[in-house]
Structure 1
Amino acid sequence: MAKPAPTRRSTPQTAAHDQHEYAEDNSRQTRDQHLHDAHHFLGRWIADARRFYACGDMDEERIAQLEKLGMIWSHYDVAWEESLAAARGWAKENGHLLAPTNVRDCKSFGVTPDHGGCIDDQ
């Protein structure tokens, strides 16, 4: 049978020490959770901002603040432009736009997409 842990006599000093340790641990956990939540919800917040902007429900000051940070209002538009540039390069090099479905090499056309890169699957 295991011995029970020795109990410590509680004094005002030990109680204050224990309370301080508890508060410090709790504060660290709260801070860490806040950082996790901030990163977790940032994507949601950006998606909401894009929706408000698209509906015309965002004021000019907030638009300016986000644009100053380099806000991409539509990641679909960015992907479209990158793919269109790759298509232009393919057509220029091959004389047509009948690219095989396994070709994803945009770099040879001077395009480096931000959404994953391109590789030839041959």
Structure 2
Amino acid sequence: MEAGLSVLIGLFFAVSVYLLMSRQIVRIMLGIAILGNAVNLLIFTAGRLTREVPPVIPEGALTPLEQTANPLPQALILTAIVISFSFFAFLLVLAFRSYQELGTDDANEMRVAEPAGEPAPPQGY
């Protein structure tokens, strides 16, 4: 199962890098979301995928008797999901407002687009 998830993680990273190199803001945002999911899966896979044994130490023992899944990566992933969702929501609002102001979602056109009634930026830096 870990080999299959490793292939899936590699595919997620490849797709996210491809989308991040795009010029459209919507594709860039989708690339950021997929990249976050790839990192979460990577952390989850690194923590091992043992489902049969709960990570509980029996009474009187100092360590678990069998090999168990590490609960720390699962807690980190839950925190990362909340943070990445709030980051994505912020980027979504930022992209929507920039589209409203500039009238384009192309990143190259956003560099030269100006809101109506605004003077041109100074040239010659």
Give the TM-score of the pair, scaled to structure 2.
0.29
Q: Which has the higher contact order (CA 8 A, sep 6+)?
A: 2
TM-score (norm 1): 0.30
